[in-house]
A and B are shown apart, each in its own frame.
Chain A
Amino acid sequence: MRLYVLVLISNFPTSDSQPDTQEIYEKPRSKRRRSSSAVGRIGRSRSASPSRVATLRATDLLTTCISVISSVISEDCRYQISSIRPSRPPNALQAVTMSLAEFLVHVYKHEPRVLSMLGFAVLPAFKTFKPAMHIRLIAFFESILGWILDHLRQLRGTTTPPNPESAAGKNTHIYRRVHS
């Protein structure tokens, strides 16, 4: 099922399709084929019917994709790869999932609802990922939060307040300007 969705994603049109999109989706597909032959069989059989792909709308695909990401993060990412090799580090699945999520954030950075859905999809990662991945998770949420706060600022009409640290460090207005 997951491989099937990944194939669909690689085919549905996006306005900002990147040349490396295929590579990102190829990578997990190839890794998962080695690890799970049963799922691979399904993927191979499904890929022979492109007519079904064309009937699905992009938004449904996106929602499905986000739900798959959510499912992978909450369930599969609890585990690490047991037979570690240089090409397959212990948190390979987690890293690939995060890369996919980051890519979707980049593509849909101007759509608040999608950002919110992506955020909620990745949120369980703080429980399921190992602590070593927490920094990457926070970095991911820093980027998503940046876009969210940007949209919020536009919708609410707030102006960015002056940075309090710079004001405290300069110490100019606390007691009026001294020897300006």
Chain B
Amino acid sequence: MTTIADEDIVYRRLHQNCFKQNGAVSSAAFKTNSRPDNQISVDLARLTTPEESVNRKSRSGFRLGELEAGGPRQLGFDVIHDRQPDNAAHSLIVGENSAKLCKQLALLVRVIPDLYS
């Protein structure tokens, strides 16, 4: 398993529905329906590319957000590598989540310009 440093970048796919009118990312982007609920899937940037990550589901309508692993850790989360058979870069933001933390995660995100699935 790969160790993720605070300076490492992780990617999160962002559906167009997750953007507000002013272009900001909504906290809803981090309210996940995965099981269990307190694991947010991301891709470790150095094990993939932005193009591969945003197109991983082969569907249109997505943009790609990036944030440093240290950001979620400062909020109390852990960021761990979780390699999957179909995604070597798969990682998780793990920890007890809340509406406030989802909002704070959204504020950490930088949307990569000019990149769409």
Do A and B share a complex?
A: no
Residues of A within 8 A of B (CB): none
Residues of B within 8 A of A (CB): none
